[in-house]
Amino acid sequence: MMSRVWAAVRKEMLQFLRDWMLLALIVFIYTADVVMCTYALSFEVKHLKFAVYDQDQTQFSRSLIEKFTATEYFGKLYPVTHRKEIDQLLDKGTVDLALVIPPDFTQNASRGLQSSVQVLLSGANSNTANAARGYANIIIEGFSRNWMQQSAAAQGLQISYPEITPSMRIWYNPELRFRYFMVISMIVVAGLMVGVITTCASLVREKETGTIEQLMVTPLSQGEVVFAKSVPTFVTGMFMLVPSLIVAYGFGVPMKGSLILFFIASAIFLAAAIAIGFFISTFARNLQQALLISFFVLFPLMFLSGTIVPVESMPLAMQYFSLLSPVRYYIEIALGVLLKGIGWTPLWPKLLILWLYAAILLYWSLNRLRRQLFE
């Protein structure tokens, strides 16, 4: 039995390695694609473009503007001389925020009267608008507090505000670098895409070329056929984790936990992704159908996993649906091992769920393949 299985594995490996385009794409997904997505995809809102309509034109109004430009959250400044220019800039998407300072801004402040400024936001991107609004509120409140203290000090008074000072300690990612999370997420997504698409395409290609009938007359069982088809994708996916981890290390990911545990979890997850690919191949009759069904399955698995949007922010029904995504468990394991340095004890339930997911889906796929090919 071992000789025929080895022969089948050898045949699949040779066929897999001859496809240089496929190998190049896999290397690209695990390395260059991870790098590009980590640099490009970020939910941090920085370097916002903003317009300023300063009708006061005093040192006091300019000091408020400097509070905005002194932070990394606001970038290019567009000074305007007319209110209509603000509307045009917001309509074109040239700026994200506009600050309007009235002509009596300094005069009211020096008299102890309420002095207001107007902040106009583009709500086309709600995430950017909410972040910009929060930044603007913090800057203006801080400016107002400093002005009140300076005014009181000039009159020989000293005022203080009752405050609660938090003592914060950030674990696992003290510098709050979003790249740590993103590079790990992209490695997870790369494993999912390679495991599903290459496995699915491998079996569907046999159907298209007509060689599937040759498998039906060989002494190989359906389990041995699936095993032989799985080996090239599994070996390649596990091997490509090494350069992916080198990329993650280059981005500063601390790699605190056991790499052995990470590779074990990756092997189980890759088996689950391969099982999904085989399951899809039982429905597709040609490569075009296989790719369409694959993307139909891949996107919900990714979106419901927490790699794009936190699971806690999803509607309750979607949170329950996310329990069906193996990516959710793998991303939690990867973050726990590489960032937190946690071990087997807190992670074994997730590892068990991944293993059950792979086993059940693979068993289901084998039954469908047996009905299609061997009956």
Q: What is the pLDDT of residue 333?
A: 92
Enumerate the CATH 3.40.1710.10 domain ranges in the chain, comma separated: 48-154
DSSP letter assigned to residue 248: H
Q: What is the pLDDT of residue 310?
A: 79
> Are 295 and 302 a contacting pair, CB within 8 Å?
no
Q: Which tens digit of pLDDT belongs to each residue from 27-63?
A: 998 998 889 888 877 777 788 888 999 998 889 889 9
How much of the chain exceeds pLDDT 70, in percent? 91
What's the whole-number average pLDDT of the chain? 84
Report the range of poorest mean pLDDT among 101-110, 144-153, 259-268, 323-332.
144-153
Report the range of poorest mean pLDDT among 215-229, 262-276, 326-340.
215-229
Q: What is the pLDDT of residue 241?
A: 93
| 22-26, 334-338, 343-347 — most confident range | 334-338
Residue 289 pLDDT exceeds 70: yes
Q: Determine the Cα–Cα distance for residues 65 and 78; give it in Å rounded to an integer.
A: 11
Name which residue leads in pLDDT, 2 or 172: 172
> What is the tally of helices (H) and strands (E) in the chain?
15, 4
Q: 263 is written with which tokens?
A: 């590779």
Residue 225 pLDDT exceeds 90: no
Which secondary-structure segment (H or E) carries 52?
A: strand 48-54
- CATH superfamily of domain region 48-154: abc type-2 transporter like domain (3.40.1710.10)
Q: Find the helix packing angle between 326-335 and 344-373, rounded to 10°.
A: 150
Q: Determine the Cα–Cα distance for residues 139 and 30; give it in Å rounded to an integer.
A: 41
Q: Determine the Cα–Cα distance for residues 88 and 83; give it in Å rounded to an integer.
A: 9
Name which residue leads in pLDDT, 1 or 194: 194
Which residue, chain included where needed, has tokens 């606001």?
Answer: 74
Q: Which tens digit of pLDDT belongs to each residue from 152-180?
A: 666 666 666 566 677 778 888 887 788 88
Phi-psi region of 176 (alpha: psi -120 to 50; beta: other; left: phi over 0): left
Residue 75 pLDDT exceeds 90: no
Q: Determine the Cα–Cα distance for residues 301 and 189; give it in Å rounded to an integer.
A: 10
| 103-112, 207-216, 271-280, 361-370 — most confident range | 271-280
Residue 375 pLDDT exceeds 70: no
Q: What is the pLDDT of residue 211?
A: 67
